[in-house]
């Protein structure tokens, strides 16, 4: 097997689409909102290039996160994922570390140029005031969350039950959407954090779906995931509300007045699309919960349980739905 193929396994490219889509969706939400700083609302080349750059950086960050997680989970993967390149010895730890830091550099350094309107030229972006470089600092926070989740020196929340879920939900849910928004508009409004909060709340529960099938290796590695702490059945009940409740906040946000500016609702996208989105996903979430609760033990027996596929599709679908609500 070629080195390129081995590094691809380390990066796990099939996981790179959700963060890329999340960034693009967040940017579209900002562009279509009342907070767009460009009064002309033109889709200009600087806006497009800024979003493309930020999206690529998000994919690099996710790939680096995947590699770091495999480095710290090497002993666990000997049981759970015996074919991974670090486990088989096809890649060394040194090679994995070098690969990870290259990806982190590619993910973080270019985001200094990810600055919204009116900073349209390269010079303007480079020399923009520190407060305009919000995306850079969000990505830096994402890097830190990677190590907080995986590294024992920084807490390794992966061994701390619900803290592990929060360490996934905050960067990959809340901050991801806010980062996308920050590429087009300022983040000092309620709206981007509300949207990020919806996605983050969903991920608090959804992040556990993969833990059921990994119980043997996680237990041997000292991880205290929800299925290990509470057993498959109780853990399934704990995560179930997070598949339903978050989507109820979408139509609510479309009609509740923004407490910081009552002249418009919290969510300024198309209220009809937002309402339909919230209701459809609530039903979809309830169906996914039914799949989970009808036989929680089956979650421990396969990595490709139907509930995991629905979780993944819901995550992708929610990004598309939010984007559509701000486009039309």
The tens place of each residue's pLDDT in the chain, 328 residues long, gives 688 899 999 999 888 888 999 999 999 999 999 999 999 999 999 999 999 999 999 999 999 999 999 999 998 889 888 999 999 999 999 999 999 999 999 999 999 999 999 999 999 999 999 999 999 999 999 999 999 999 988 888 888 889 999 999 999 999 999 999 999 999 999 999 999 999 999 999 998 888 888 888 888 878 888 999 999 999 999 999 999 999 999 999 999 999 999 999 999 999 999 999 999 999 999 999 999 999 888 888 777 778 888 988 999 999 999 999 999 9
H-assigned helices in 12-133: 17-32, 45-72, 74-80, 85-88, 93-108, 122-126
Partnered with residue 261 across adjacent β-strands are 258
Domains of the chain: 3-326 (1.10.357.140)
Tokens 């989507």 correspond to 247
Enter the tokens of residue 19: 């963060």
Supply 114's token pair: 């990810």
Q: In the numeric block, which tokens belong to residue 257?
A: 């007045």
The two tokens of residue 79 are 């049981």
pLDDT of residue 236: 93
Q: How far apart are CA 277 and CA 324, in angstroms?
A: 10
Say what the pLDDT of residue 315 is: 94
| CA-based radius of gyration for the chain | 20
The alpha carbon dihedral of 278, 284, 289, 292 has a sign of: negative
How is residue 91 annotated by DSSP? S
Q: What is the DSSP string of 224-236?
A: --HHHHHHHHHHH
């Amino acid at each position: 097997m070629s080195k390129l193929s081995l590094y691809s396994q380390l990066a796990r490219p099939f996981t790179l689409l959700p963060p890329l889509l999340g960034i693009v969706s967040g940017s579209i939400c900002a562009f279509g909102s009342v907070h767009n700083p460009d009064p002309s609302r033109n889709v200009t080349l600087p806006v497009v290039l800024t979003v493309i750059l930020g999206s690529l950086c998000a994919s690099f960050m996710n790939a680096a996160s995947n590699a770091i997680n495999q480095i710290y989970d090497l002993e666990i993967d000997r049981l759970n994922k015996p074919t991974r390149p670090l486990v088989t010895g096809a890649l060394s730890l040194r090679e994995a570390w070098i690969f990870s830091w290259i990806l982190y550099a590619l993910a973080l350094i270019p985001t200094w140029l990810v600055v919204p309107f009116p900073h349209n030229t390269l010079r303007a972006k480079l020399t923009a005031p520190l407060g305009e470089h919000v995306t850079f600092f969000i990505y830096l926070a994402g890097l830190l969350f990677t190590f907080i989740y995986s590294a024992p020196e920084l807490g390794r929340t992966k061994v701390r039950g619900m803290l592990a879920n929060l360490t996934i939900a905050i960067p990959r849910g809340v901050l991801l959407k806010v980062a996308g928004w920050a590429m087009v508009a300022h983040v000092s409004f309620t709206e981007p954090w509300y949207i990020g909060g919806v996605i983050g709340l969903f991920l608090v529960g959804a992040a556990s779906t993969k833990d059921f099938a990994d119980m043997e290796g996680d237990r041997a590695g000292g991880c205290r995931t929800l299925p290990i702490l509470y057993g498959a059945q109780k853990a399934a009940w704990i995560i179930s509300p997070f598949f339903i409740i978050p989507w109820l906040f979408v139509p609510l946000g479309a009609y509740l007045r923004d407490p910081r500016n009552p002249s418009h609702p919290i969510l300024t996208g198309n209220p009809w699309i937002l309402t339909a989105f919230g209701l459809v996903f609530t039903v979809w979430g309830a169906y996914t919960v039914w799949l989970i609760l009808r036989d929680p033990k089956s979650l421990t027996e396969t990595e490709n349980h139907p509930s995991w596929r629905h979780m993944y599709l819901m995550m992708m679908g929610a990004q598309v739905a939010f984007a559509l609500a701000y486009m039309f």
